[in-house]
């Protein structure tokens, strides 16, 4: 009997999480990279008197999320390639869209774990009032992460076959996800205003939702033919 969509997705997620809990490799390296990113930005955006450039926090937060996300994607699929797990999963008599969904969920959880540490850190270092509207900020981060990870997981999975995957992933991923990054940065910047511009943030949250729906539908639809050799 073929297992159902949700069942397969959860099994793949369980597999990814079991590996990650054992080594904690991707979470730790991704987090460290994100912290290093923020530190480098602090040299560029903190002025003479130790005062950060106004509004820089939103951009720094999202660039750190995008960069560390790319690193996590590359690392996750390198591991899959090395142990030939991905091919085994594709050979299994299960819906490929479900395999994609499971991997995507794992990716989102890893990025979320990074963001949980990263966001307070950016708020702390750059004196940014990020938590005045916590629900809106969480919505922005969650939707942005889903949009970025949905395209990222699809592209990283299909690039596993190519020799030049390390350099091609960012080249392909960043232009396509620029709308998501723009929406995230603009939405977060609106929250950083005093008082926070709630209608602007809500507008970007709506846009992010639209991007997520388009990207997820396309990714689920094209994963099967893309992964067929």
Partner 1 sequence: MKKLFVPLAVVVAVMFAAAPIAIAMADYESTMLLVQKIFYFHFATWMAMTLAIAVCGLASLVYLFTASKVADWCAVASAELVVIFGLFGLFSGSLWGRKAWGVWWQWDARVTMATMLVLVFLGYLMVRKYGGPGSEKLAAAMGIFGAATSPFVYKSVDWWRTIHPQTTVMKTLGDKWPGAWMLVIFCSVAFLLLTVLLLAARVRLEAMRSRLDELYLAAED
Question: In sequence order, what DSSP letters do the residues of 190-224 get, joined into one string?
Answer: HHHSSS--HHHHHHHHHHHHHHHHHHHHHHHHHHH
Residue with tokens 């904690």: 24
Least distance to partner 1, CB of residue 17, Å: 27
Question: Across the strands, what pairs with 46?
Answer: 52
Which helix or strand (DSSP H or E) is residue 112 part of? Answer: helix 96-125
Q: Where does residue 193 rank: exposed (0-12), middle (13-18), buried (19+ CB within 10 A)?
A: middle
Which listed residue (207, 208, 216, 220) binds partner 1 by CB under 8 A?
207
Least distance to partner 1, CB of residue 221, Å: 9
**What's the CA gap between 64 and 68, in Å, rounded?**
6
Q: Per-residue x/- marks for partner 1, 17-56, CB under 8 A?
A: ----------------------------------------
88 binds partner 1 (CB under 8 A): no
213 binds partner 1 (CB under 8 A): no
Which listed residue (28, 129, 161, 198) binds partner 1 by CB under 8 A?
161
149-112-215 Cα angle (round to 5):
20
Least distance to partner 1, CB of residue 60, Å: 18
Stretch 93-152 residues interacting with partner 1 (CB under 8 A)? 151
Name the nearest CA neighbour of 52 among 115, 128, 119, 117: 128
In the complex with partner 1, which residue's Cβ is closer, 50 or 175? 175
| Span near partner 1 by CB under 8 A; candidates 48-56, 87-95, 135-143, 215-223 | 215-223
Q: Where does residue 160 rank: exposed (0-12), middle (13-18), buried (19+ CB within 10 A)?
A: middle
Tell me which residues touch partner 1 (CB under 8 A).
Answer: 151, 154-155, 158-159, 161-164, 167-168, 171-172, 174-176, 178-179, 182, 186, 203, 207, 210-211, 214-215, 218, 222, 225-226, 229
């Amino acid at each position: 009997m073929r297992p159902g969509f949700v069942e397969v997705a959860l099994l793949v997620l369980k597999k990814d999480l079991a590996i990650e809990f054992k080594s904690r490799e991707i979470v730790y390296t991704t987090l460290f990279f994100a912290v290093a990113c923020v530190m480098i930005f602090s040299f560029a955006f903190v002025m003479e008197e130790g005062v950060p450039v106004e509004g820089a926090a939103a951009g720094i937060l999202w660039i750190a999320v995008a960069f560390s996300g790319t690193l996590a994607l590359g690392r996750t699929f390198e591991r899959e390639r090395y142990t030939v797990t991905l091919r085994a999963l594709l050979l299994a008599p299960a819906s490929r869209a479900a395999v994609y969904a499971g991997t995507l969920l794992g990716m989102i959880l890893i990025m979320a774990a990074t963001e949980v540490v990263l966001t307070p850190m950016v708020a702390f270092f750059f004196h940014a009032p990020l938590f005045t509207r916590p629900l809106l900020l969480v919505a922005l981060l969650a939707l942005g992460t889903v949009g970025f990870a949905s395209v990222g997981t699809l592209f990283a999975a299909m690039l596993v076959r190519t020799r030049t995957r390390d350099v091609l992933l960012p080249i392909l991923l960043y232009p396509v996800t620029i709308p998501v990054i723009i929406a995230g940065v603009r939405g977060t910047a609106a929250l950083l205003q005093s008082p926070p511009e709630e209608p602007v943030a809500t507008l970007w949250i709506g846009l992010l939702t639209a991007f997520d729906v388009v990207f997820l539908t396309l990714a689920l639809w094209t994963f099967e033919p893309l992964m067929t050799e």
